[in-house]
Structure 1
Amino acid sequence: MNQTKIPKRISSALVNSLSAGVVPRIGLEYIAVGRKPEIESVLRELGNVAEGGAAFKLITGRYGSGKSFLIQILRNYAMDRDFVVADADLSPERRLVGTKGQGLATYRELMTHLSTRTRPDGGALEALLQKWFASLQQQAMAELGLRPDDEQLQVEVERRIFEVTGNMEHMVHGFDFARVLSAYWNGYKSSDDEQKQNALRWLRGEFPTKTEARRELGVGVIIDDDNWYDYMKLWAEFMSRIGYKGLLLFIDEGVNLYKITNTVSRQSNYEKLLTIFNDTMQGKAQHLGIFLGGTPQFVEDQRRGLFSYDALRSRLVAGRFGEGAGMLHYAGPILRLEMLSHAEILVLLEKLRDLHASHYGYEAALDQRQLMRFMESELGRMGADALLTTREVVRDFMDLLNTLHQYPERGFDELLPDVLGRSAPSGAFAGLSGGSGGAPRGAADVGAAEQPGALSSPGGGTPPATRYGAGRGQGGCSAGTAWGGNEGGAQRW
C-alpha cells in the first residue's frame, strides 16, 4: 500500500494525540479530510481581512464533531498565507472579562501563542519585532547606500519606526502603544536587555500596576481586563503595517462562558462578545479576524447561552431563507459543523491506517473490507445515531490498531465484535467499495493538496443520501429518527 513518509517527530505527535482523543498541533495536513465548504468560506473571510476588513465566525458543533480540528487547520492555513495568528482556550481562569483578571489572562495566553509561518509554535512577539527592525535596516541600507556602522542608519531606521507608530496614535491607546514600541527599539539599538524585557512585559500585559509602568517605561497605562481587546485591534493594525496581512485570533472552548454560574458575570462576557461582534461586522476593526469555537448549547440555549442575551440573539439567529428553511449557510456569522460523511470517514480511516504503519514501520494490512466492517461495528453500537462522533470513531480505530500491533497473534476478526444482525442498514456503504473514490462531491482531501490551502476531492462518486436523523448543525440527532431524511447528498452521522 502506498504510504506517505512522515517525519518521526510529526507521526509521534499524531499517533499520541489521536489515541488520546485530542487535536494535534502539527501534522494535520497528513490526516485532514472533508470540510471543503467550511474551509472555503473561511478563506473568503481571510481575503477580506487581508484587504483591510474584519471577520467574526462562531464555529459550533457537538463535542467531538471536529471544531478544534477545524480551528487548527484554519490556523495553519492562515500562517501559510502570511497572517499572524494567536490561539487560546477559554477556561474558568480565562474569559473575555472578569473581576479577577480573567480577561487579561486570555490576552496573555493569546500573546504567548502568537505565531507566524517561521515561528509556528508560539512565542513570536520578540522575533517579530526584531525581524521588523532588521528589515527596516536592510531597506535603509539598500535605498540610501548606507553601511551598518553609519550613524545615519540608526537615525533613518528610527524615522521609519516613528512613521509607522505615529500613524497609529489616533487609535485608542495608540500613543502609549507607540511609546512602548519606541522604548523597545531604544533598548534594541543600545543592547539594553532590561529595557527590552520591560517593553516586552508591557506588550504581553504583564505589568501589574500603572506606577511600575510609569517608572520603567514612562507610560501611564497598562493592559488590563477592560482594555485588552483595544490592544488586539492595535496589534492587528500594527501587523498590517509591518508587512503581514493581519491578525487572526482563534479562541476555543467558548462553552466555558456558558458555564459561568453568576448571571451578572456571564452577561458581562456576552456584552464584551457583542462589542467584538459589532466592531468586526461594522468595519470598526481592521485587519482583524476572530474565530470562536463552541457547542450548539452555548449558542442557542435561551436561558444561559448567547441567545439569552437579546442583542446577540437578534444578530445570530438564523434567517428565514437559509438556515431557517433547513439549508446550510456558510456566509453568516455562525458556521455549523455537520458530522463527516461515511465516505469521508472511510478516507480518514485509510489515512490513520497508513499513518500508524508508517510510524511503527510495518506494512499496513487492513484492507477495504475490514475498514468497512469496522465502520459497521461503530454504527451498530447502541445509541450511535445520537451519540457517535468522529472523535469516538478515531479513538476506537487507533485503539484497534495499537492492539493489533502489540498482539500480532490476535487477528482482526478475533478482536472486532461480530456485527452480524446489528450492522448499518442495507445500502449504507453503497459507493464505498472503491475506496476513497466513493467520497461525496465536495469532500475535500486537504492532506493531498499540492499547495497550502488547495482543496481536492478524494473522489467523484456520491453515495446514497442517507442520514442519521434530523437536527443538522444543531449538535446531534434524536435517537428515534435513525437513518431518516433524504438530503445533503451523502450519508452523515
Structure 2
Amino acid sequence: MADISPRRRREIVDALRRGTVPQRGLDVMAVGLDRFATAIADELATVAEGGANFKAIRGEYGAGKTFFARWLTETAKQQGFATAEVQISETETPLHRLETVYRRITESLATEAIGPSAFRDIIDGWFRVLEQDAIAAGADPRDPSAVATRTDALLEQRLAVVSRAAPAFAAALRGYHSAVRLGDVPTSDGLVAWLGGQPSVAATIRRVAGVRGDIDHFAAFGFLQGLLAVLRDSDYRGLVLVLDEVETLQRVRSDVREKSLNALRQLIDEVDAGRFPGLYVVITGTPAFFDGTQGVQRLPPLAARVGVDFSSDPKWDNPRAPQVRLLGFQHASLVELGQRIRDIYANGSPAVDRIGALITDNYLGGYATAVAGQLGGRVGIAPRVFLRKLVDLLDKVEQFPDFVPDAAGAVQVAADGLNDDERAALGGLDAIQIDV
C-alpha cells in the first residue's frame, strides 16, 4: 500500500473509526469485486459514448451495497464522470417526488476535482468552455461584446435540443449568464439555486430570466436532460446516479409506494428510450425489495424490467445483467479486507514495526472469527463491526508502547453503537422483537 497518500490514508481510517463507508480510496478496499469490474468498465464506456444504462444491486444488510455503489462512483470519477448519490427516504427524498430527487442530485453532484456540491462550478465551467469555443471560432478576445455575442449564439445552438424538452432550464441559464456578466450577484445566486431545484426563489429574480414557479415533478426529467447536456459540453463523460436504500419504499403508505415504483419504472423506460444520453443509474435494495410483495413485484412492468433469475449457482451470475447480487463477506474475504486496512494504517505510522509484529495475518484470521462469532457466526453482518474494532485496536497499538492485544478469542462486541441488524445478531433469538 505504498501508493496511499497520507490524506487518503487518514480519510479511510477516520471513516472506518466512525463505522462508515469511506468516500474515497475504495479501490484499495475492493475485496471480491473483481468479477464485476470488466462489466462495469464496459457499461461506463457505453455511457461515455452517448448511451445510457441502468443497474440494480441487491444484497442483504452487510453485503456491501453502499460500498459497491461508492466504489463504482469513485471508479467513474477517475474516468471523468460526474456522480451523485441520493439516499431515498419517505420524508427527506421520496422517490415519487422527482423534483426532490433532482434537487438532491444537484446538491450531491461531485467530480474527481470538486466535492459536493459541484453544480455551480460545473455551470460556470460550461460557460468558460463556451467562451473559449467562441474565441476559437473567431471572436476577438480583446472585444468582450464580440465574445459575449458569439457565446450567446453557441449557447442557443447547444441548448436547442434541451430547449424543446425543458425551455425553462435554457431560459434560466441565459438569465444566469447575463447576471454574472453584469455582476448582479443576488440574481445570479438566485437563478443558479432555481436551476438546481431549490424552492422558494424570489419571483423578482425568476422574472429576470422569464421563468415562473418552482420545478415540479413533470419538469424534473427535462432539467436532468439539461444537466446532462451541460456535463457533456464540459467534457465530462457522463453522470453516474446512485439511488441508495430504495428498499425503504416497502415501509411507506401503499399509495406512496405505488407512485414511487411507477416513478422508478418511468425512469428506467426513459433510460432505455435514450432520453438521457450519458446517464448511468444505479439502485440498491435488499432481496425482499426485489422479490417480496411490498416491493418491485407490486408493479409487474417494473419487475419485468429488473427481474433476474438467481436460482442457479452464484458462480454463474451474469455481471452484465440489469440486476446483480452481492453475496456478502466470507471469512477469507473478511480477513483479506482486514489485511488491507492493517497495511493502509501501518503505511506512515510511527508504530509500523509493532503493528506488523502484533497484528499478524494469523491474528487477523482469529480476530475475524471472534467478531463474527459474537454476531451469531453471521460473517455478512460482521464487516462494519470488524473494521471499526480493528481500527480501534490499531489505534491502541500505535499510541501505547506497552499495549499488547488480547488473544483474538477474547474479543467482545458490545451492543452500544450497533445498528438493529447487528444488535439482533449479537443477541440471537432473544433480540428479535415481535409486535403482538
Letter in 2 for 1:229: F
Structure in which a larger fraction of residues adopt helix: 2
- Secondary structure (helix, strand or coil) at the match of 2:217 reads coil
Q: Distance in 2 between matches of 1:380 and 1:114?
A: 40
Q: Cα deviations across residues 376-415 of structure 1 (Å, max 9, x unaligned)?
A: 3345446214763432332332233334445553433x34
Residues 1:107 and 2:102 are matched in the alignment: yes
Answer whether contact 1:94 1:106 (CA < 8 A) is retained: no
Mapped pair 1:298 → 2:289? yes
Matched, 1:311 2:301: yes
Kindly indicate whether residue 59 of structure 2 is the aligned counterpart of residue 94 of structure 1.
no
**C-alpha contact (below 8 Å) 1:86/1:250 kept by paired residues:** yes
* Alpha-carbon distance between aligned partners in 2 of 1:229 and 1:106, rounded to the nearest angstrom: 10
Q: CA contact under 8 A between 1:236 and 1:288: conserved in structure 2? A: yes
Indicate conservation of the 8 Å contact 1:349/1:371, yes or no: yes
CA pair 299-213 structure 1, distance change in 2 beyond 3 A: farther
Matched-pair identity in %: 24
1:351 aligns with 2:345: no
* Structure 1 equivalent of residue 27 of structure 2: 29
- The match for 2:131 among 122, 130, 137 is 137
1:325 corresponds, among 312, 316, 321, to 312
Q: Which amino acid aligns with 1:356?
A: Y
The reply to whether residue 249 of structure 1 matches residue 241 of structure 2 is yes
Distance verdict in 2 for CA 1:188–1:76, change over 3 Å: same
Question: Deviation of residue 217 (structure 1)?
Answer: 2.5
Assess if the C-alpha contact under 8 Å between 1:88 and 1:113 holds in 2: yes
Q: Which residue of 2 aligns with 1:73?
A: 71
Q: Which of 361, 371, 379 is matched with 1:368 structurally?
A: 361
Residue 276, structure 1, aligned to residue 267, structure 2:
yes
Question: Helix, strand or coil: the match of 1:280?
Answer: helix
CA distance, structure 1, for counterparts of residue 368 and residue 311 of structure 2? 32
1:160 Cα deviation after fit:
1.0
Do 1:18 and 1:394's aligned partners in 2 also have CA atoms closer than 8 Å? yes
1-structure distance, mates of 2:22, 2:204: 40
Aligned partners of 2:16 and 2:387 also within 8 Å: yes
Q: Secondary structure at the match of 1:169?
A: helix
Displacement of 1:212 after TM fit? 5.8
Q: 2:164 aligns with which of 158, 170, 174?
A: 170
Q: Is the 8 A contact 1:339 1:390 kept in 2?
A: no
Report the counterpart of residue 10 of structure 2 in structure 1.
Answer: 12
Question: 1:342-381 CA deviation, whole Å, 9 max, x = no partner?
Answer: 4433332122112223365311222222222223334544
CA distance, structure 1, for counterparts of residue 246 and residue 15 of structure 2: 22
Gapped runs of 5+ residues in structure 2? 412-424, 429-436
2:276 is matched with which residue?
Answer: 285
CA offsets, 1:176-218, max 9 Å, x none? 2111111111112222212211220211112438966753421
With over 3 angstroms needed to count, the CA separation of the structure-2 counterparts of 1:150 and 1:224, relative to structure 1, is closer
Amino acid at match of 2:62: G
CA gap 1:382/1:133 in 2 versus in 1, 3 angstroms: closer
Between the aligned partners of 1:407 and 1:15, the Cα distance in structure 2 is 18
Paired residue type of 1:346? V
Q: Which whole-Å CA distance do the structure 2 matches of 1:210 and 1:30 have between them? A: 47
Alignment map for 1:369-448 (pairs within 5 Å) = 369-381=362-374, 383-385=376-378, 388-405=381-398, 408-412=401-405, 414-417=406-409
After superposition, give the CA deviation of every residue in 1:230-253 in whole Å (9 maximum; x if it has no partner): 322332233223422222211212
Q: Is the alpha carbon distance of 1:389 and 1:334 closer, same or farther for their aligned partners in structure 2, counting shifts above 3 Å?
A: farther
Aligned length: 407
Match runs of 1:230-245 below 5 Å: 230-245=222-237
Partner in structure 1 of residue 191 of structure 2? 199
Residue pair 1:233, 1:288 contacting (<8 A) in 2 also: no
CA distance in 2, matches of 1:347, 1:325: 27
Matched, 1:334 2:326: no
> Which AA in structure 1 matches 2:57?
I
Residue 35 of structure 2 aligns to a residue in which SS?
Answer: helix
Q: 1: distance between equivalents of 2:35 and 2:205?
A: 47
Contact 1:96/1:273 (<8 A) preserved: no
Query: Which position in structure 2 is the counterpart of 1:229?
Result: 221
- Tell me, yes or no, if the aligned pair for 2:244 and 2:284 is still in contact at 8 Å: yes
Aligned-pair RMSD on alpha carbons? 2.7
8 Å CA contact 2:375, 2:381 repeated in 1 = no
- How far, CA to CA, are the matches of 1:370 and 1:386 in structure 2? 17
* Distance (whole Å) between structure 1 residues aligned to residue 63 and residue 365 of structure 2: 20
User: Do 2:331 and 2:369's aligned partners in 1 also have CA atoms closer than 8 Å?
Assistant: no
Q: SS state of the match for residue 164, structure 2?
A: coil
Asked if the contact 2:139/2:146 (under 8 Å) is kept, the reply is no
| Letter of the 2:264 counterpart | L
Higher mean C-alpha displacement, 124-133 vs 23-32: 23-32
Question: Are residues 1:217 and 2:209 paired?
Answer: yes
What is the one-letter code of the residue matched to 1:58?
A
TM-score, normalization: structure 1? 0.75
**Contact map agreement 1:210 1:221 (CA 8 A) in 2:** no
| SS of corresponding position for 1:290 | strand
2-side partners of 1:210 and 1:190: how far apart? 19
Partner of 1:59: 57
Q: Which runs of 5+ in 1 are unaligned?
A: 420-475, 480-493
State the distance in 1 between where 2:187 and 2:374 align: 62
Displacement of 1:268 in angstroms is 0.6
* 2:84 match: secondary structure: strand
**TM-score normalised according to structure 2 size:** 0.84
CA–CA distance in structure 2, aligned partners of residues 367 and 325 of structure 1: 38
Equivalents in 1 of 2:36, 2:14: separation in Å?
Answer: 27
Whether the aligned pair in 2 keeps the contact of 1:95 and 1:269 (CA below 8 Å) is no
Q: Secondary structure at the match of 1:58?
A: strand
